[in-house]
């Protein structure tokens, strides 16, 4: 094991935060991907068969058979650590929620998963394993085989469509400003769909979009092209309609390339 | 009902920006309102290249080259395809390129 990961694991053990019967422990989020900065939290997911409890533990609820996910948090120096204790059964339920049968039942991602559930699944593919390599690889494989990717792609494309309609409606009513903002949102959603199609999830946190883009390396649009639109480099306040139409056309081009 | 005249080769078809597009199981599906249209492989090729700058003639030449069609047949097929899109509010035809 990487010495730093081993050190982190020992640190958690030293604080009495690794439960007996631990099935897996994973560093997740930006710190797992090397995207973190000096102010970033360290997020750790732990998986057990039995619920975690302690005097310091708190919990959030999830719409699962066992409805609580215990959490612990502490500061190590300036860094905040956030630990979430998921049950193995809960993870199984999450993956079942995004089955192909569920997808074909015409459900939207937002109707199937809560934000925290989606975040957990979104991060599962890019964790750094502290414990339980076999468990993690098995669940990653199950997630990959599920319809999770398709759920997210379909949702992002749907959001993009809605923003395109907003932009066109704003143009028709004479509001170039409103149309500009709607076109920007449409573009973000279209790019999210493009990245999700390549297994790069995490659309809820926009600051990671450039990182996700570079990680995904999509074929249909270069980073330079994406960044030019993101920073509105060709936007002319005297002729905003041109930029708006170009961006909406680009959103359409992206939609044509992505398999849902 | 009278058959509409064929589209002239210099007509410029363009995708409507309010068309919803999905690619599922390798097939391109277009939708507007309650209308949905699944495109054939050749239809998808034409649609992807309808950028508001290419004329019907240019699109037909591409179709002819790709599928080994006679020029006139490709022109007729392209015109028919564009007409069907326009009829379903999935495309528009401009007099000149944008």
- On chain B, the residues whose CB falls within 8 A of the CB of A165 are 18
Neighbours of A31 (CB within 10 A): 19
Q: What pLDDT shows up at residue A84?
A: 98
Q: Is the pLDDT of residue A176 over 80?
A: yes
Mean pLDDT of all residues in chain A?
Answer: 94
Q: Is B19 on the interface with A (CB under 8 A)?
A: yes
Put simply, whether B94 touches A (Cβ < 8 Å) is no
Is A252 close to B23, i.e. CB distance below 8 A?
no
**CA distance to partner chain A, nearest, from residue B81 (Å):** 18
CB distance A245 to A138 below 8 Å: no
Which one of B20, B23, B51 has the shortest CB-CB distance to A161?
B20
Contact A189, A254 (CB under 8 A): no
Q: Report whether pLDDT(B3) > 80.
A: no
Q: Residue B4 above 80 pLDDT?
A: no
- What is the mean predicted confidence (pLDDT) over A156-181? 97
pLDDT tens for residues B34-65? Answer: 999 999 999 999 999 999 999 999 999 999 99
Give the Cα separation of A90 and A85 in Å (integer): 10
Name the residue in chain B with its Cα closest to that of A165: B18
> What is the predicted pLDDT for the residue at A167?
98
pLDDT, residue A199, reads 96
- Measured between CA atoms, how close is A26 to chain B, in angstroms? 34
pLDDT at A73 over 80: yes
Strand, helix or coil at B6? coil
Tens digit of each residue's pLDDT (9 = 90 or more) over A201-237: 999 999 999 999 999 999 989 999 999 999 999 999 9
Q: Are A46 and A86 in contact (CB under 8 A)?
A: yes
Give residue A208's pLDDT.
94
What is the distance between the alpha carbons of residues A24 and A86, in angstroms, rounded to a whole number? 10
Summarised one tens digit per residue, pLDDT across range A1-38 is: 677 888 888 989 999 999 999 999 999 999 999 998 88
pLDDT tens digit string along B68-81?
Answer: 999 999 999 999 99
A28, B70, B73 from B10: Cα distances, Å: 56, 18, 16
The position carrying tokens 């599922």 is B24
Residue with the bigger pLDDT between A105 and A26: it is: A26
Helix (H, G, I), strand (E, B) or coil at A33: helix
The pLDDT assigned to B93 comes to 94
Cα separation, A152 vs A173, in Å, equals: 32
Q: Which of A8-12, A100-104, B4-8, B88-92 has the lowest mean pLDDT?
A: B4-8
């Amino acid at each position: 094991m990487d010495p730093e990961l081993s050190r982190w694991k020992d640190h958690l053990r030293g604080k009495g935060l690794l439960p007996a019967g631990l099935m897996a422990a994973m560093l997740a989020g930006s710190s797992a991907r090397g995207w973190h900065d000096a102010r970033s939290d360290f997020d750790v997911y732990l998986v057990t068969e039995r619920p975690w409890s302690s005097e310091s533990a708190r919990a959030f609820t999830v719409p699962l058979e066992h409805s609580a996910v215990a959490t612990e948090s502490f500061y190590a120096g300036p860094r905040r650590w956030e630990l979430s204790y998921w049950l193995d059964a809960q993870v199984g339920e999450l993956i079942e929620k995004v089955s192909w049968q569920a997808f074909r039942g015409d459900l939207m991602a937002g109707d199937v998963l809560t934000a925290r559930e989606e975040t957990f699944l979104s991060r599962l593919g890019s964790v750094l394993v502290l414990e339980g390599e076999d468990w993690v690889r098995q669940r990653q494989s199950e997630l990959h085989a599920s319809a999770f990717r398709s759920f997210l792609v379909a949702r992002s494309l749907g959001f993009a469509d809605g923003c395109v309609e907003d932009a066109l409606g704003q143009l028709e009513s004479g509001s170039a400003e409103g149309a500009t903002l709607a076109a920007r949102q449409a573009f973000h959603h279209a790019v999210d769909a493009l990245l999700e199609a390549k297994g790069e999830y995490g659309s809820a946190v926009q600051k990671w979009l450039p990182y996700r883009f570079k990680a995904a390396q999509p074929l249909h649009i270069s980073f330079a092209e994406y960044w030019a639109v993101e920073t509105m480099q060709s936007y002319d306040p005297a002729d905003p309609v041109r930029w708006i139409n170009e961006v909406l056309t680009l959103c359409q081009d992206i939609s044509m390339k992505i398999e849902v | 009902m009278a058959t509409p005249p064929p589209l002239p080769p210099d007509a410029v078809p363009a995708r409507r920006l309010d068309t919803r597009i999905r690619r599922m199981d390798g097939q391109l599906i277009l939708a507007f309102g309650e209308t949905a249209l699944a495109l054939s492989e050749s239809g998808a090729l034409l649609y992807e290249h309808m950028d508001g700058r290419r004329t019907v003639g240019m699109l037909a030449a591409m179709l002819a080259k790709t599928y080994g069609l006679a020029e006139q047949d490709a022109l007729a097929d392209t015109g028919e395809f564009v007409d069907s899109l326009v009829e379903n509010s999935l495309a528009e035809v401009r007099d000149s390129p944008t």
